[in-house]
Chain A
Amino acid sequence: MNIPKDKLMLMLERMWLIRNFELKVIEAHKTGEFAGGAHPYIGEEAVAVGACIAMRDTDYIAGNHRSHGHPIAKGASLNKAMAEIFGRRDGYCKGKGGSMHLADFSVGILGESGIVGSSVPIATGAALASKLQKKDFVSAVFFGDGASNQGACHESMNLASVWKLPVIFICENNQYAVTTSYKSTVAVEHVSDRASAYNMPGVLVDGQDCIAMYEAMTEAVRRARAGEGPTLLEGLTYRFEEHSLGLGKIRRSEYRTEDEINSWRKRDPIVIHEDRLLKSEIASQAEVQHVRDHTEKLSMEALEFARKSPWPEVSELFEDMWADKTMPIP
């Protein structure tokens, strides 16, 4: 596939945006600047970025608790994302959602769900709407290997297939649900093998390679737009950090070995893509360095933005419960 340079560079930029953003989140969590946890996407950037670059702005995505990478990959603002994680009024959800519930409906992001598997039917429904409205919008949903065992996931895949809906199911198989290996919870060898039960293509993709993800997604999107129905993509990947910030202690329980972690860290999706761009002389060292610096600067600005953003007022507590402004507060 001949991918234009601007797309290749955009992939690099979005991956670096996610990486640098997540590093700032980790830093801010360490110093106690925000409450609750957060689930870093570091190591998995190529999955969301490769997929989202193959979509249009008007297409929909939905995601899960590991929620920072998806909106950034789709083009959401870093400032509003960080402010949301900080619980501030300038966040996407005015501080009502937090880290697990980033959403930017203006760029087709239907929201991230804290209940594992629960957003899969939502994305399927957006695809149903596209079909009924005779629009060519497609919808994609990111979910984990753990989520792939939820009934909601299976129900949605069957529904999407019998109705030939334009939806792409993207399993981010980072191989663990918290500490439990997918090998002990998924009865087939690969999550994508399940696609055959729903009569849709199931594609196992190297989730560390944004171009592989982009190419697989491009074909899935083509199929979806052409009315040929859904696809299940499985991006085989690895999370470099712990399941969630604040759960560092789990590492010591050694559900995964240092060797395994180190071997996957050698397959860093950003390094893989950068090396390729440099070796094939698509990008110069200076161009790559510019992306690094620029995304670092934007992440730093997001952190500053979040720190300065005001807290919501108590008067905002009941706001947004209802579309109907006449609803009484009981």
Chain B
Amino acid sequence: MPEMMVMQALNQAIAEEMRRDPKVFLMGEDVRASVYGASANLSREFGPDRIIDTPLSENGFFGAAIGASAVGMRPIVETLTSFMWVGMDQLVSQAAKMRYMFGGQVNLPVVFRAVMYYGGGSAAHHSDRSYPLFMNIGGLKVIVPGTARDAKGLLKTAIRDNDPVICFEDGTLLGQRGFVPDNSELPGGELLVPFGKAAIHRQGTDCTVVAIAGCVGLAIQAADELQKEGISVEVVDPRTLVPLDKTSILESVAKTGRCVIADPAAKVCSAASEIASIVAEEAFWSLQAPIMKVASEQVHIPFSQALEKHVYPTKEKIMAAVKKTMG
């Protein structure tokens, strides 16, 4: 099984799907030159008709992608999470709502790939982790790959999906390496990760850690260290937030009786908040300790590294929360 960076896994997913289906094309700013990395070499293979550089007009080209998807194309839009604010009307008023509002007359198979850069001194305008907002809107599938394998498999599934999907690509992971099976090793000859099915990265009996996107690796490290201290942690990665695999989370909490949720988004109305409320409503009688959220501080991202490093969840914060649930 080859090891590759998350960025390369995303690149493979796009290339494979573009080879398979001529309706798939990629558009975004500077995608031909692959300034952000995931579209490397694609323009050489697919040419300028299918790898399209756009003007800086997020509202305009997000909408154009949605319109193209309404009449038979399968566009992939590359953007940064922070630039989605500019195209928000198209995402919310059109992508999310058109199908319902028009009584199911139209499918919108469009994928927005939203890179989340944070943690590297990018300051407040380039460090957003906005997926919880999109969970609230409805009509948009929200996927948050936490490993290289899932980045490839989920993105391929997203491109084939008939609903609009936003793929939040965690910038702290893009350069990380992970195992991605080679197609020849796979039964169907390709890697497709289904939506709505959590991955259990570590089995455990004392505490469930539900970990999202960049927190997945931190939670695994925390689990491995706590193991040495005799605490058995189960790491559940939902992989997709819309749809959310409630069953796997609830089954894990029923087994462990404890729940910590690690989420890189800001803590108020985060994905962690929603998961906590589900656990409180549906697994209350299994709980032996209060649910703990380990999410980012509710603050804009400061530029100074001296400040920024205090904002996000860390392995240490996850370990401390688990220990707190253990009493």
Residues of A within 8 A of B (CB): 60, 62, 91-97, 101, 103-105, 110-111, 113-115, 118-130, 132-133, 137, 139, 151-152, 155-156, 158-159, 162, 319-324, 326-328, 330
- The answer, yes or no, to whether B84 is at the interface (CB within 8 Å) is no
* A320–B104 CB distance below 8 A: yes
Nearest CB of A to B281, in Å: 11
Contact A115 B67 (CB under 8 A): no
**Contact present for B67 and A122 (CB under 8 Å):** yes
A328 — nearest CB in chain B belongs to which residue?
Answer: B243
A319 touches B104 (CB 8 A): yes
The answer to whether B268 has its CB under 8 Å from any CB of chain A is no
A132 near B100: Cβ-Cβ < 8 Å = no
Binds A, one of B87-95, B168-176, B202-210: B87-95
Nearest chain B CB to A57 CB, angstrom units: 14
Interface string of B42-63 (1 = CB under 8 A from A): 0000000110001101011111
If the complex has contacts A110-B67, A322-B139, A328-B243, are A118 and B72 also in contact, measured as CB distance less than 8 A?
Answer: no
CA distance A155 to B65 in the complex (A): 13
Instruction: Give the distance to chain B from A142, nearest Cβ to Cβ, in Å.
Output: 15
Interface string of B14-32 (1 = CB under 8 A from A): 0000000000010000000
Task: Return the contact of A93 from the options B25, B49, B65, B103 (Cβ within 8 A).
Answer: B103
Q: Is the CB of A327 within 8 A of B68?
A: no
Cβ B57 vs Cβ A103 within 8 A: no
Centre residue among B62, B101, B102 by max chain A CB count within 10 A: B102
CB atoms of B65 and A101 under 8 A apart: no
Name the B residues within 8 Å of A127 (CB-CB). Answer: 67
- Identify A323's interface contact among B60, B163, B246, CB under 8 A: B163
B64 touches A321 (CB 8 A): no
B105 contacts partner chain A, Cβ-Cβ < 8 Å: yes
A129 in contact with B72 given A97-B102, A158-B57, A321-B139 (CB within 8 Å): yes
CA distance A159 to B72 in the complex (A): 20
Q: Smallest CB–CB gap between B174 and chain A, Å? A: 28
Tell whether A324 pairs with B244 under 8 Å between CB atoms, given A94-B103, A110-B67.
Answer: no
Q: Which residues of B contact A125 (CB under 8 A)?
A: 63-71
A320 — which chain B residues lie within 8 A by C-beta? Answer: 99-100, 103-104
Distance in angstroms from B4 CB to nearest chain A CB is: 29
Tell whether B248 is near chain A: CB-to-CB under 8 Å: no
Q: Are B54 and A159 touching (Cβ within 8 A)?
A: yes
Asked whether A120 lies within 8 Å of B63 as measured between CB atoms, the reply is yes
Q: What residues make up the interface of B, taking CB atoms closer than 8 Å to A?
A: 25, 49-50, 54-55, 57, 59-73, 89-90, 93-94, 98-107, 109, 138-139, 141, 161-163, 196, 243-244, 246
Docked Cα-Cα span, A92 to B49, in Å, equals 35
**A152–B60 CB distance below 8 A:** yes
Give every chain B residue within 8 A of A123 (Cβ-Cβ). 67
Report yes or no: B101 in contact with A159, Cβ–Cβ below 8 A.
Answer: no
Contact A324 B162 (CB under 8 A): yes
Partner of A121, one of B50, B90, B98, B243: B90
Bound: A132/B100 CA distance, A: 27
Bound: A60/B50 CA distance, A: 22
Smallest CB separation, A229 vs chain B (Å)? 15
The answer to whether B94 touches A322 (Cβ under 8 A) is no
Is there contact, CB below 8 Å, between B67 and A96?
A: no
Among candidates B64, B99, B102, B196, residue contacting A124 with C-beta atoms closer than 8 Å: B64
Q: Are A118 and B101 in contact (CB under 8 A)?
A: no
CA distance in complex: A101, B103 (Å): 10
Q: Which residues of A contact B72 (CB under 8 A)?
A: 129, 133
Question: What is the distance, in angstroms, from B52's C-beta to the closest C-beta of chain A?
Answer: 8
Q: Does B102 lie within 8 Å of A105, measured CB to CB?
A: yes
A95 to B72, CA, bound (A): 25
* Bound Cα distance A94, B103 (Å): 5
Residue of A nearest to B138 (CB): A321
Contacts of A104 in B (CB 8 A): 105
**Extra pairs beyond A91-B103, A122-B66, A320-B100 (10, CB < 8 Å):** A114-B93, A118-B63, A118-B93, A125-B70, A158-B57, A322-B139, A323-B99, A323-B109, A323-B163, A328-B196
The smallest C-beta distance from B50 to any residue of chain A, in angstroms, reads 8
Least CB separation from A159: chain B residue: B60
Residues of B within 8 A of A159 (CB): 54-55, 57, 60-61, 64
In the assembled complex, the CB of A91 is this many whole angstroms from the nearest CB of chain B, namely 7
Q: Distance (Å) between the CB of A198 and the closest chain B CB?
A: 11
Q: Can you list 14 contacts pairing A with B, beta carbon distance less than 8 Å?
A: A96-B103, A97-B101, A97-B103, A103-B103, A105-B106, A111-B101, A118-B90, A118-B94, A132-B50, A151-B60, A156-B63, A321-B138, A322-B99, A328-B196
Among B67, B89, B100, B196, the residue within 8 A (CB) of A126 is B67
Complex CA distance for A96 and B99, rounded to whole angstroms: 10
Question: In the complex, what's the smallest C-beta–C-beta distance from A270 to chain B, in angstroms?
Answer: 30
Min Cβ gap B89→A in Å is 6
B164 vs chain A, min Cβ distance (A): 9
